[in-house]
Amino acid sequence: MTNEAARFSSRSFQRFVDENREQLTIYGILLIITVIGTVLSSQFRTSTNFFNVLRQAVALGMVSIGQTFVILSGGIDLSVGAAISLVAVYTANLMKAYPAMTLPIVALMLLLGLAIGLFNGTLITRLKIAPFIATMATGSILQGLVLLNGKRPSGKIAPGWNYFAEGMVGPVPFPVIVFAVLILLAIFVIHRTVLGRYIIATGGSERIARYSAIRTNLVLNAAYIICSLGAVLTGLFITSRMGIGDPQVGGLSYDRFDLDSITAVLVGGTRLGGGKGTVIGTIAGVLIVAVLNNIFNLVGVNTFYQWIVKGIIILLAVAAYSSRKTAE
């Protein structure tokens, strides 16, 4: 009986490995990168740096979860960086002018995110503009609106709003709790709701999905709205952390949230072109990008070289998925 139980346990473990091989590989890569970080910099091992990496991961993770929905649907969103900057600047300036209106201002930013996502979705579904071009154009418009306010940081957050980024619930940072809730919600939507199934089906083949009576236009609009809402949350988080609105924080600075979010999603195993991917994989990709960014900064790697490395990572991820698709 003991031998039979051992064999059953072994088979269960092997089945788990086979079913989750891709995610396990990604988390294995994360472990290797983390070990390299501890070797290259003594600062990397400090508790202060650990929480710094966590906060970087939260900022990137919120928008990357949204980007996962879009890429799963077969699209891509290049407007998220500019949307983050827009939210950062508008939030800080509105809170400075109306410090007692924190919650209405946050609600207004969420409505702005909904409008941006719907605008992207309309360009793609109604005007039949390619997602790459449509969202890049939207990003350009949004960045122009940001820079109308000037190129320098402005505004000031309302008293208490810094809790969103810096607050603690016991030993756990408040933003980590918020991020964990978002992860669980995203997993539920993708794997347990009709919308999630329709997004995956549309990404797998929009034509077949349409023949299956799926209203693909509504599905794509929903995906882009979710992505823009993720960008809004990132913008609100960064504003809470910085205390001001930086017009370059999302797209013109060295932290390119559009590039980093796409990198995180692709490295996490979501197929470019849609139809396959997981939120758990995206979180691994987010952690890999956040840890890499942290190591680069601690070691003093030139930012332009960081961009080169991230570009190479995207190429390798796309090449890996292309070869796997060919093998299938």
Buried b (16+ CB within 10 A) or exposed e, 100-121: eebeebbeebbebbbebbebbb
Which residue in 207, 232, 202 sits closest to 219, CA to CA?
Answer: 202
The structure's pTM equals 0.90
Quick one: pLDDT band at residue 323, thresholds 50, 70, 90?
low
| Amino acid in position 309 | V
Tokens of 138: 């939207």
d(CA 169, CA 50): 17
**Domain ranges within the chain, ordered by starting residue:** 57-327
Residue 51 pLDDT = 86
d(CA 312, CA 315): 5
Tell me which of 5-19, 134-148, 158-172 is least confident: 5-19
Question: What backbone torsions phi and psi does residue 174 show, to the nearest 5 degrees?
Answer: -55, -45
pLDDT in tens, 172-185: 899 999 999 999 99
d(CA 282, CA 288): 10
